[in-house]
Amino acid sequence: MGSKRQGVKPEAAPTAERIAKRLARAGLCSRREAERWIAAGRVRVDGKVLDSPALNVTAKSRIEVDGKPLAAPEPTRLWRYHKPKGLVTTNNDPEGRPTVFQRLPERLPRVLSIGRLDLNTEGLLLLTNDGELARFLELPSTGWRRRYRVRVHGEVDEGALAKMAGGVSIGGMKYDAIEARLDGRKGANAWLSLSLTEGKNREIRRIMEHLGLQVTRLIRLSYGPFQLGDLPRGDVAPVPRRILRDQLGANAARFGLTGVEGDAHRRRQA
């Protein structure tokens, strides 16, 4: 993990919030999943079954999901996970493939991934118990860069790599600027370093294919200030709350990260 703070625009912490956001903060689901739960009639507020997510709630609101009171949100936490190749970043895969969440240690609470890594991508995947934090850190406007090492097969055109700094358009799909560097060649294979802030679905693979290159290995090394480092494959490591607070800067208050009290206790529990 790095300690250099990256620029994130501050946003005020609200006293009232949308019901879907409140469910996400509790770590039950993402905001989109919460909206689906509401549409299915699974959520009740102050005795009334909701049929729309267009409702603000406060700390005094009585919220129930599937007839059970919504527990107070746990303190916001973040973990680094070294995702191995061959796992899908989803809770349930219709094709029956193994998932990230099936392989996580049982000691972890229910967590959500911040973004996704596809089946054959390995490396750093951030996990959190706060759905709203996941949503916030996934936004390109947050400004956190994702850095990758990529092994490709084919002839690398360094001029084409340099042009990626101005963005790339493929079949009507526009991709934001990508910093790309050739690290070395060995026969028909080469290693590249890539850095981007957007992270659309299969973005790197599609762009490499556009350049006539086949990706044979893809490793995410960092997400914003958080590094894969020497974390062993398949392992999970907690990010200290004070470090998360420092990296979020003025946005830390949105997620209850206004102090470091209790960090030592939480590290013992991790």
pLDDT score of 217: 97
Cβ contact 223:198 at 8 Å: no
β-pair partners for 214? 153
Q: Does residue 242 have a pLDDT over 50?
A: yes
Cα separation of 235 and 67, whole Å? 36
pLDDT score of 32: 82
Q: Return the residue matching tokens 């501050």.
A: 10
Nearest to 166 by CA among 147, 179, 156: 179
pLDDT digits over 52-80, tens only?
989 999 888 899 999 999 877 788 999 99
Average pLDDT, the chain: 87
Cα separation of 240 and 105, whole Å? 18
Domain 78-142+225-256 has CATH 3.30.70.580: yes
Residues whose CB is less than 8 angstroms from the CB of residue 106 and which lie 6 or more positions away in sequence, other chains included: none
Q: Where in the chain is the domain with CATH 3.30.70.1560?
A: 146-223
pLDDT digits over 196-220, tens only?
988 788 899 999 999 999 999 999 9
pLDDT score of 10: 55
CATH of span 17-69? 3.10.290.10
Q: Does residue 262 have a pLDDT over 80?
A: no
Cβ contact 73:95 at 8 Å: no
Q: Where in the chain is the domain with CATH 3.10.290.10?
A: 17-69
Q: Where in the chain is the domain with CATH 3.30.70.580?
A: 78-142+225-256
The residues annotated as belonging to the active site are 118
Lowest mean pLDDT among 5-14, 204-213, 220-229, 242-251: 5-14
CATH of span 146-223? 3.30.70.1560
Q: Does residue 6 have a pLDDT over 60?
A: no
Phi–psi pair at 131, nearest 5 degrees: -65, -30
Q: pLDDT band at 269, cuts 50/70/90?
A: very low
Residues whose CB is less than 8 angstroms from the CB of residue 84 and which lie 6 or more positions away in sequence, other chains included: 103, 122, 233, 234
Nearest to 152 by CA among 193, 196, 198: 193
Q: How many CA atoms lie within 13 A of 17 on its CB side?
A: 17
Q: pLDDT band at 258, cuts 50/70/90?
A: confident
Q: What is the pTM of this model?
A: 0.78
pLDDT score of 39: 92
pLDDT score of 27: 72
Cβ contact 121:87 at 8 Å: no
Nearest to 223 by CA among 139, 165, 104: 139
pLDDT digits over 139-170, tens only?
888 889 999 999 999 999 999 999 999 999 99
Q: Strands 214-223, 121-128: parallel, antiparallel or unpaired by DSSP?
A: parallel
